[in-house]
Copies of this chain bind each other. A is one copy, B any other.
Amino acid sequence: MRIGILTGGGDCPGLNAVIRAVVRCGIGSGDEVVGFRDGWRGLLDDDAVPLDLAAVRGLLPRGGTVLGTSRTNPYAIDGGPARVMATLERHGIEALVPVGGEDTLGVAAKLTGEGVRVVGVPKTIDNDLDGTDYTFGFDTAVGVAMEAIDRLHTTGDSHHRTLVVEVMGRHAGWIALHAGMAGGATVVLVPERPFDVEAVVAHCLHRFESGYSPIVVVSEGARPADGDLVTATGERDAFGHVRLGGIGAALAALLEERTGREARAVVLGHIQRGGTPSAFDRVLATRFGLAAVGALHEGRSGVMVALRGTDVVPVPIAEATARLKLVPLERYAEAEVFFG
C-alpha cells in the first residue's frame, strides 16, 4: 500500500513521533510512505517527499514536524479538491493519514466522500477534540505551564505580588485546568465559565492574608461574566499584529488596582507548543501512528484513531469532530476546592 501523510494546523509536540510510527510500521508491513509538506498545501502544490527509515531516524524526541504545517484548506480554494485528487493519483497514494485538528480532519472527512481512503490522527494541543480522551501535545503543554507556575510560586511569595499566568485555550480550558491543579494555582479561569471579578479579587486577598502570594492561571479565551475585560480596556498592540498581553495583562492590571498589591502577567505563548514531547505524549503519538496504519490495513476509512481509557480505537471522524470537548462543571468544581 502507498500511504500519504501530512501534518496540519498549529505545532504540537508528538507530530514527529506520529510520522515516525507511521513510517516504521508501514515499511515494516511492506507499505511505502510519502510525506506531503505543510499540510494540505503539499497536496495542492504536489510538494512531496518519500519517507524511508533513514528519514525518520532520531525523530521521536524532536518537537515540531519535519513535514512542516500550514492552515491551508483545499476546499476554500477554487479547484482545490481536484488538485489534491490529482496529486494523490500522480503519487499512486492509496490511503491518507492526515494528522491535525478540527480543520484538517474536516477536510479529511470531505475527501472520504470523494472516495479517498482516510484514517485521521487527531491533534490539538488544547485537548478540545471530542471522541478521544486525550490528544498528544496536551500533556507536554501542561508540563511546561506547570514548571513555569512552580518557578513563579517562590517569586510571588518573595515579592508579595500577584502573578497571572496566561496559558493557551481559546475555547476550552483544559490546559489551564490541569496546569492550575498541578501547579497549585489560587484561581483557575477557563473560557467555559465566565468569571466573577469580585470573586477572583477575594481569592487573591485571602491568599495574601494567609502569608502567601496568589497565582492566577487563566486561559487566553477566559472572559469576565460582565463584559469583555480585554475589549473594555482597549487592549491591542502597536501594529495590530502581535496579540501579546490579552486577558493575562488586562487581568494583572485589574488585580493590581483592586488588591492594592503589585501584579505581573506571564504569557507562555509558543513555548507550550514546541520542544521535546513528554513520555506520555511520545507513547500516545506513537500508538496513534501505529493504530492509523493498522486501521488502514483493516480497510477502515473515514475514521480517526482515538484514546479510550488505555485503548486506541477507530471512531468516525464526523462524530468525533462534531463538537468541542469542553471542561465540564464537575471537573471545574474539583479545581475550585483549592481556590483561595
A283 to B157, CA, bound (A): 23
Q: Which of B25, B151, B257, B309 has a CB less than 8 Å from the CB of A309?
A: B309
Contact A275 B151 (CB under 8 A): yes
Chain B residues positioned under 8 Å from A183 (CB to CB) = 60
CB under 8 Å from chain B, chain A span 146-192: 146-148, 150-160, 163, 178-179, 181-184
Chain B: minimal CB distance from A233 (Å): 3
Determine the residue in chain B with the shortest Cβ distance to A286.
Answer: B181
Size of the A side of the interface (Cβ < 8 Å), in residues, is 92
Establish whether residues B238 and A249, one from each chain, have CB atoms under 8 Å apart when the complex forms.
Answer: yes
Q: A69-B158, A282-B146, A283-B182 are in contact. Are A249 and B270 (CB under 8 A)?
A: no
Indicate how many identical chains form the complex.
4
A150-B275 in contact given A244-B245, A244-B249 (Cβ < 8 Å)? yes
Residue among B69, B151, B184, B279 making CB contact with A60, cutoff 8 Å: B184
Knowing A25-B337, A163-B270, A249-B244, the reply to whether A63 touches B286 (Cβ < 8 A) is no
Residue of B nearest to A272 (CB): B151
A127-143: CB near B (< 8 Å → 1, else 0) gives: 00000011000010011
Q: Which residues of B are found within 8 Å of A24, using beta-carbon distances?
A: 337-338
B184-A290 in contact (CB<8A): no
Tell yes or no: A68 within 8 A of B by CB: yes
A279–B159 CB distance below 8 A:
no
Q: Does A274 contact B (CB under 8 A)?
A: yes
Q: Are B239 and A256 in contact, CB atoms less than 8 angstroms apart? A: yes
Cross-chain contact B182 with A279 (CB below 8 angstroms): yes
A266 at the interface (CB under 8 A from B): yes
Check if B239 sits within 8 Å of A257, measured CB to CB: yes
> Does any Cβ of B come within 8 Å of A319's Cβ?
no
A230 vs chain B, min Cβ distance (A): 8
- Closest residue of chain B to A289 (Cβ to Cβ) is B337
Q: Are B282 and A280 in contact (CB under 8 A)?
A: no
Query: Closest CB of chain B to A134's CB: distance in Å?
Result: 8
A203 contacts the other chain (CB 8 A): no
Give A15-43 interface residues, CB cut-off 8 Å to B.
15, 21, 24-25, 28, 38
Q: State whether the Cβ of A220 lies closer than 8 Å to any Cβ in chain B.
A: no
Give 8 closest A-B pairs by Cβ, nearest first: A64-B154, A151-B275, A233-B238, A155-B274, A63-B154, A239-B253, A151-B274, A64-B158
11 contacts between A and B (CB under 8 A): A24-B338, A63-B153, A64-B154, A142-B279, A142-B283, A151-B276, A155-B275, A234-B238, A241-B263, A267-B269, A309-B309
